[in-house]
Amino acid sequence: MKTQVCIVGAGPSGLLLSQLLHLRGIASVVLERRSRAHVMGRIRAGVLERGMVALLREAGVNARLDREALVHEGLDIAFDGRRHRIDLAALTGGAAVTVYGQTEIQRDLFEARDATGGIVIDEAEDVMPHEVDGDAPYVTYRKYGVEHRVDCDFVAGCDGYHGVCRTAIPNQVLKTFERVYPFGWMGLLADVPPVSDELIYVNSARGFALCSMRSPTRSRYYVQCPLEERVEDWSDDRFWTELIGRLPADAGARLVTGPSIEKSIAPLRSFVAEPMRHGRLFLAGDAAHIVPPTGAKGLNLAASDVHFLSRGLIAYYQTGDDRGLSEYSEKALRRVWKAVRFSWWMTRLLHHFPEDSPFDRRVQAAELEYLFTSKAAQTALAENYVGLPYE
């Protein structure tokens, strides 16, 4: 098989890139290790920056989003019995965030690829990029016991943190940066009405909690938990009791509980791989970087990577101009590191770190007090949360 761009991974990065390229007449093949049902079964992020929404609109997959998504112009931060609304719209000249589950984005993108003849090969085993630092890269994989080869001009590594494409960058070239956090998030999804119209981020005496949502009838909640916790030790009742114990009293009293649809524990890490390009291989999304979910940046960074990479590829194929491809890694990483910083800062602000000293705890309380009382501090949070420009 021959194509122009071979994309490894059918997550949001891979499918969005494939759809954007298709709309500009550029052929791609997407190779996905798991089944489509498995990919669709993942419960992931839910807060979209304006840049992500614009990209989904450009990809022509915004119809359902426009009908069903919620637009949030603010969020609450709660600490020490107080609750402060960060007025995102007022502080950023009208910007807001859009609440729409990643699962729905995956559904919309799969449907669009299917409707436009996209080649998305799932359950592709042992996918492996070859000769990415030459002029004729190719990717091999096996399906139903048969070996296949995809010859291409470029390889897009959209295969996530545990993917294979990053390993195609030689060790002497690849630099990685990582911070692993000493706790995880236990998440629960339930068909109950959200406790509040907007998200509530809580730094409570018992640890972090987050009240989010997917729709007016479906809620998403998280509590910080020790890394050694096992989800099977947490009944729904235990989760609800712990969550209520961390929420401001009025929210706890209002919380509607119900049976979980999904419950899982995720570790938190910050990770960046540099460079995001090697020869004819380009990394995008989680394949190149991971952020703790506190700042809701994971999916949104995948979007800005795809924005930069799609424009570089489109310019190359339409005009022969390869500057976008040459500048891709540096441009993407500039925005990645700002989001990594913000996600680290918000995680540091809102969680209990076991190793924190009494001094650390006082500094954290002062940081929150400063945030509650300073428009400058609130503006800094707001402009990062709604999304910094794609520049």
| CB of 354 closer than 8 Å to CB of 182 | yes
Edge-to-edge strand ranges of the sheet holding 5-8: 119-121, 28-31, 5-8, 154-157, 281-283, 277-278
* 382 part of the interface to ligand PHB, by CB under 6 A: no
Report how far residue 29's alpha carbon sits from residue 14's, in angstroms, rounded to the nearest whole number.
Answer: 10
Query: Residues 114-153 vs ligand APR: string with x where CB under 6 A?
Result: ----------x--x--------------------------
Per CB under 6 A, the list member of 34, 142, 143, 179 interacting with ligand APR is 34
Cβ atoms within 10 Å, residue 159: 27
Q: Specify the DSSP class assigned to residue 2.
A: B
Query: Binding of ligand PHB at residue 184 (CB under 6 A)?
Result: no
Contacts of 160 (CB under 8 A, 6+ apart): 9, 11, 285, 286, 287
CB within 8 Å of 93: residues ≥ 6 apart = none
- Three-class DSSP category at 38: helix
**Could you tell me the two tokens for 115?**
């409707």
Q: Which of 112, 150, 265, 296 binds ligand PHB (CB under 6 A)?
A: 296
Whole-number minimum distance, CB 141 to ligand APR, in Å?
Answer: 7
Q: How many residues bind ligand PHB (CB under 6 A)?
A: 10
Instruction: State yes or no: residue 39 binds ligand APR (CB under 6 A).
Output: yes
CB of 225 to ligand PHB, least distance (A): 15
Nearer to ligand APR among residue 17 and residue 371 (C-beta): 17
The reply on whether position 44 binds ligand APR by CB under 6 A is: yes
Distance of CA 231 to the CA centre of its chain: 22
Residue 164 interacting with ligand APR (CB under 6 A): yes
* 294 sits near ligand PHB (criterion: CB under 6 A): yes
Spell out, one character per residue from 187 to 206, where the chain touches ligand PHB: x when CB under 6 A holds, - when not. ------------x-------
Residue 274 near residue 238 (C-beta atoms within 8 A):
no
Q: Taking CB under 6 A as the criterion, which residues in 67-106 touch ligand APR?
A: 102
Q: Please report how close the Cβ of residue 165 comes to ligand APR at its closest, in angstroms.
A: 8
Contacts to ligand PHB from residues 29-88, by CB under 6 A:
45-47
Q: 260 touches which of ligand APR, ligand PHB, none (CB within 5 to 8 A by kind)?
A: none
Nearer of residues 55 and 192 to ligand APR, judged by Cβ = 55
Q: Does 387 bind ligand PHB (CB under 6 A)?
A: no
What are the b/e assignments for 181-195, b being 16+ CB within 10 Å?
A: bebbbbbbbbebbbb
CB of 42 to ligand APR, least distance (A): 7
Whole-Å CA distances, 100 to 56, 218, 298: 12, 11, 14
Catalytic residue numbers, as ranges: 72, 201, 293, 297, 385
- Report, in Å, the least distance between residue 391 CB and ligand PHB: 23
CA gap 391, 378 in Å, rounded: 23
Identify residues 238-257 at the interface with ligand APR (CB under 6 A).
none
Q: Are strands 5-8 and 154-157 parallel, antiparallel or unpaired?
A: parallel
Backbone phi and psi for residue 279, each to the nearest 5 degrees, phi listed first: 65, -120
3-class DSSP assignment, residue 202: strand
Which entry of ligand PHB, ligand APR, none binds 51, CB below 5 to 8 A by partner kind? none
Residues in contact with ligand APR by CB under 6 A are 8-14, 31-34, 39, 44-45, 102, 124, 127, 158-160, 162-164, 285-286, 298-299, 302
